[in-house]
Amino acid sequence: MFKKASNDYWETTWRQELATQSTIKYLQVQHPVVDNPHNLWKSTRPKQHEIQHAEIKARLITGTFILQGNDMKCLQPANCVE
């Protein structure tokens, strides 16, 4: 009973986040949310360099990774797009 309520709560929370934030629209919430991590994390071995690679992949997927080219554009305020 608690597990189902917990899964329902987190699934609802994730779906609301997906609806409001454009950076995570490419992530798919798998059911049940609590017991089922994203495939990116499932395929990562518990080694430091693989975890670091997975973090970068997650940032690329969500669009929160700032590429060097985009960073240089934002140094000049006229070219920075928000």
Q: What's the CA gap between 20 and 54, in Å, rounded?
A: 24
Longest dimension (CA), the chain: 55
Name the residue ranges covered by the structural domains of the chain: 2-74
- In sequence order, which ranges of the chain are alpha helices (DSSP H)? 2-20, 39-42, 48-62, 68-74
Please give the radius of gyration of the chain, using alpha carbons only, rounded to the nearest integer.
Answer: 17
Residue of 34, 54, 36, 35 whose CA lies nearest to 44: 54
pLDDT tens-place string over residues 5-61: 888 888 888 888 878 877 676 667 677 777 777 788 888 888 999 999 998 888 887
> How many CB atoms neighbour CB 16 within 10 A?
10
Q: What is the pTM (predicted TM-score) of this model?
A: 0.52
